[in-house]
Amino acid sequence: MSTKEIVIRQAVADDVTKVAEIEEKCFPKAEAASLKSFFERFMAFPECFLVAEVDGKVVGHINGCVTDSPELTDALYHNTSLHKPDGAWQTVFGIAVLPEYQHKGIASALMRTFKEETKKRGKEGIILTCKDEKISFYKALGFEHVGVSESSHGGAKWNDMICKFS
């Protein structure tokens, strides 16, 4: 699959159900956002949702809110009122690609486009948490490993990652 076949676009409301289905296939139940949560998030910050399509099929997504602090706290996952549209930092709650489409550059394409869009909105950078095995993936995309996160989302151990634009 060449990157020419991958289309990254702004998500629309009709994509939310597919986003939730992809999330369910890619994350353990304790970590995956629910369909209800995705609809609440999309209503609060639709500009922070991108999807990846291959041959017209949504196969991946990336999303997160905006905050004032360069720290992704667990509260942000559960409370859409904490989204600060004019905040300095874009978060990434999740990036997921259907298993049969993984290792084809789609997650990297999603992140590159997300970074471009975040820069256009004038943010200072992007913050996210990830598991140990994903640190090198995010480093290759320009993120710095800050250390072990205080997050206990889904009962897992997370690492804080940051990508500063300046």
In this predicted structure, the answer to whether residue 4 has a pLDDT above a threshold of 60 is no
- Please report the pLDDT score of residue 3 as a whole number: 46
What pTM does this model have?
A: 0.94
Q: How far is CA 51 from CA 40, 71, 107, 115, 157, in A?
A: 17, 24, 10, 14, 27
Q: Number of structural domains, the chain?
A: 1
* Tens-place pLDDT, residues 7-27: 999 999 999 999 999 999 999
* Tens-place pLDDT, residues 105-143: 999 999 999 999 999 999 999 999 999 999 999 999 999
User: One-letter amino acid identity for 64?
Assistant: G
pLDDT band at 166 (very low <50, low <70, confident <90, very high): confident
- Is-contact 91 67, C-beta < 8 A? yes
Report the b/e string of 11-36 with b at 16+ CB within 10 A: beeebbebbbebbeebeeeebbbeee
Edge-first strand listing for the sheet containing 57-63? 6-10, 49-54, 57-63, 94-97
Q: Containing domain of residue 100, as a range?
A: 3-164
Q: How far is CA 98 from CA 24, 70, 76, 101, 143, in A?
A: 10, 29, 25, 5, 23
d(CA 166, CA 157): 29
Longest dimension (CA), the chain: 40
Q: What's the CATH code of the domain at 145?
A: 3.40.630.30
In this predicted structure, the answer to whether residue 40 has a pLDDT above a threshold of 80 is yes
Mean pLDDT calculated for residue range 63-92: 96
pLDDT above 70 as % of the chain: 98
* Tens-place pLDDT, residues 59-68: 999 999 999 9
pLDDT above 90 as % of the chain: 93
Q: How far is CA 82 from CA 66, 75, 97, in A?
A: 8, 8, 26
Other beta carbons less than 10 A from residue 125's beta carbon: 19
